[in-house]
Structure 1
């Protein structure tokens, strides 16, 4: 299966599953630091896909895309991109339902099995380089 087919499949799947659910990321040791909306569009001020927002900007301290920040570094215990993270971000919907942790750490219990979480973990380095382009591939 090539990338284009994967993205078409994921777009359909994500659209069906998450059409009514707004998913949010919460980080920190107590999961009390808001890190943005996981599936909001690129114009939403809380979206991780909005490169002008606190949560989508690669230079923001609250962004999972900031490779040097607490929530985006491959070495931080709070980052989804650390294979050894103890406190990766939690995925929660607008009603407070928990969907697991967004993390590369395969030993973390309750690691999210959402298709979107798995795609983010697999392609996070590529996504960081073209956030808007990846949003289009995944959601449009």
Structure 2
């Protein structure tokens, strides 16, 4: 995998470069539920950007985009989109290195400061309605 650039919504400002690491989400109380790859391309079966995968489909129980699921609801203690989540998903690379928690909860210790995590948190409502468009904005 090559270097990927992230662009903000306007498409005009480059906000960072992520080296060739794949970043994965793990959720649940023990972070033992795999929730997909947050920087894999849309054709990857594990990508949260692949709307046909278990992790990118808005109706899948393993998707952060499922607004009614444990991992995508604004009320679930396991969701990154809950401002009160006690157990939001952890971001890990392929070697198990920890990059913080993907969460809106401002009080969660070790909240991720990765640029991609910050973008996902800021724009998650918009991303849910246009996953393909946001993938293009962020990775192309």
- Category of TM-score, reference length = shorter chain: over 0.9
1:117 has 2:117 as partner: yes
Count of residues paired in the alignment: 133
Partner of 2:33: 33
Normalised TM-score (structure 1): 0.92
**CA displacement 1:74-128 (0-9 Å, x = unmatched):** 0000000000000000000000000000000000000000000000000000000
**Structure 2 unaligned regions, length at least 5:** 1-7
Judging by fraction of residues, say which structure has more helix.
1
Query: C-alpha distance in 2, partners of 1:28/1:2?
Result: 30
Partner of 2:76: 76
CA shift, 1:5, in A, is 1.4
Judging by fraction of residues, say which structure has more strand.
2
**Structure 1 unaligned regions, length at least 5:** none
Superposition CA RMSD, Å: 1.2
1:59 has 2:59 as partner: yes
Partner of 1:126: 126
Runs of at least 4 residues off by over 3 Å = none
Normalised TM-score (structure 2): 0.92
